[in-house]
Chains A and B, each alone.
Chain A
């Protein structure tokens, strides 16, 4: 692979993974809202 292709691939994939992980982590750690909420099992 050329350096340009390698840098593009790694930077884009790392960036997208971090952002996706960050938002998902925020969902996992968000405080549940008081009942009644939208979710039957929470």
Chain B
């Protein structure tokens, strides 16, 4: 059975592409990045990065996809193979399937939170809760052992429902499933976004604290600090934001574009989808969370707490201030908006795997969709059960960050230097409904690859606190969050074995208190001035190994018993990702053998 997928309408394609790009980061990551990197001045490196890296990469990925689709290839391994016959590229293309499954595994979990929070907004769970109670609700929700509604394993249940919904929609195909969701989801997302943004902008002074004013929040976000433009960290942050917000380096754009025929436009489609994502991010994303949060909690609170958790741990409380009905309605809009942003992205993540299995192994659409769901379930359940142990964050870093940068760098080099910019450019402008400025040809050859290599190196050897200025002018120290730092677990100074019969202190100091209650043992470690550095607790089944007044160094045992250290879960998540990558490599190898056997070699 040949892969006969097709888009229904051009608008549907553009909305699906925009939906692929628009994600939770548009509403949660962008405003925080802007606040931390120069406020209004952040928009300058942001737009420069969009021009020099975002747009060229969008065009490169659309062109690569449509070129591959011409020879009936709909996933990156064999799309890249059709551009250069060296077998190396097939295995680089594995990233374009691997990343999507790895990211979908944890992304569907976040998506299920939004679905669950829509449900809780409808039944008015948050009505009357304090800020702390709303925050604790979230902590309880992600703790699999606890239930907020009386339903056992509530978070697992919502995860399964969400994954099932994704699988079902994917099994309906591009025009019958993905496109229909994009056509409903994107307009609703924009509508909900506009309503909440208007509320954020017009909220003004609530009088709850001295600076509880949404305009103070907007000022905080948009006040241009031009001196920050000289800081390399700001440019890295802007380039990173552009990269992740456009869903570049994932393989989904190539997959969607591979269903576009050669005579049809891709240049204008790419621009429209890219700018639509920018609109959602800059106009809507910047006008909701920060202004509303400052309006009710004040600037100091937001400065301390601005981050991803605000979406779930703060917003329901803020909506409560509008009364039971309006608060519930706003909750449905906010979490509905996040749900649509999530599902249009997670659906896109399913299509490369489906395209690959349909192309190479002649699988039916439902079979390909079901196996995607199954793979995501196998990879994703540990992120649900071991969320607190850091499984989720490891997936996010390796599949959702590092892999994207690596893949985008390779594909740009392939397109501009190996496939050749002349052929690439011809592919881009074929059937174009807009005039593509010629200078972009040179940007694609020189600027974009350099931009990406710099980002890749920056990811690899990020200096401490991302402070490049200091790294160049003073002393270079590797950041724990850099790729090398992550790989070597440089932030873990004690308890470095998977299993142990003792638990070691991660700090040095003096034990100022070592005591037990009915359930736990506690050890409080302080510095020489009596300032508490760290407090440890372990269940009563373990044994205390220190007493009050003892001096401890890093790696001094403070508890005895049998321990499974967090490093075990981190390594386990990496082993799972590596196994997934190898599994897809084997499938690509098998597919290639099959192609050779039946002499089905394109190009």
Contacts and interface: CB of A to CB of B under 8 A. Distances in A.
B501 interface: no
Interface in A3-25: 4-6, 8-9, 12-13, 16-17, 19-20, 23-24
Contact of B261 (A6, A16, A38): A38
B204 to A, nearest CB: 11
A1 B215 CA distance: 6
B43 A39 contact: no
A37 B261 contact: yes
Contacts of B224: 4-5, 8
Contact of A30 (B8, B261, B265): B265
Interface string B285-319: 01000000000000000000000000000000000
Nearest to A22: B275
State the majority secondary structure of interface residues on B: helix
B264 A38 contact: yes
Contacts of A24: 14, 272, 275-276
Interface in B242-257: none
Contacts of A4: 40, 223-224
Nearest to B216: A1
Given A26-B433, A38-B259, A41-B175, A5 B219 contact: yes
A42 to B, nearest CB: 6
Interface residues of B, number: 40
Interface in B411-434: 431, 433-434
A23 B10 CA distance: 13
B219 A39 contact: no
Given A28-B11, A38-B6, A40-B175, A12 B268 contact: no
- Give the contact-size bracket for chain A: 20 to 34
Contacts of B222: 1, 5-6, 8-9, 12
A12 B11 CA distance: 26
B272 A23 contact: yes
A20 B10 contact: no
A17 B308 CA distance: 25
B218 A9 contact: yes
B72 to A, nearest CB: 14
A20 B279 CA distance: 7
Given A2-B223, A5-B219, A39 B278 contact: no
B7 A16 contact: no
Interface string B259-271: 1110111001101
Interface string B197-235: 000000000000000000100110111100000000000
Contacts of A2: 219, 223
B265, B271, B272, B282 — most chain A CB neighbours (10 Å)? B272
B14, B222, B259 — most chain A CB neighbours (10 Å)? B222
Nearest to A41: B8
A12 B261 CA distance: 35
B9 A41 contact: yes
A28 B269 CA distance: 11
Interface in B334-361: none
B39 interface: yes
A27 B264 contact: no
Given A27-B10, A39-B6, A42-B9, A16 B279 contact: yes
A4 B359 CA distance: 55
Nearest to B39: A5
Contacts of B10: 27, 30, 32, 38-39, 42
A37 B13 CA distance: 13
A30 B307 CA distance: 41
B275 A38 contact: no
A24 to B, nearest CB: 5
Nearest to B279: A20
A4 to B, nearest CB: 6
Contacts of A37: 261, 263-264
Nearest to B274: A23
Contacts of B268: 23, 26-27, 30
B140 to A, nearest CB: 38
Contacts of A39: 6-10, 12-13, 264
B275 A5 contact: no
Contacts of A1: 215, 218-219, 222
B66 to A, nearest CB: 9
A21 B222 CA distance: 23
B136 interface: no
Contact of B6 (A16, A27, A33, A40): A40
A33 B272 contact: no
B7 A38 contact: yes
A9, A17, A32 — most chain B CB neighbours (10 Å)? A9
A19 B275 contact: yes
B129 interface: no
B175 A33 contact: no
A26 B272 contact: yes
A35 B24 CA distance: 38
Closest 10 CB pairs of A and B: A8-B40, A20-B279, A23-B272, A9-B222, A20-B275, A5-B222, A5-B223, A41-B8, A1-B219, A38-B261
10 contacts: A4-B40, A4-B224, A9-B218, A12-B40, A20-B276, A33-B264, A38-B10, A39-B6, A40-B8, A42-B9
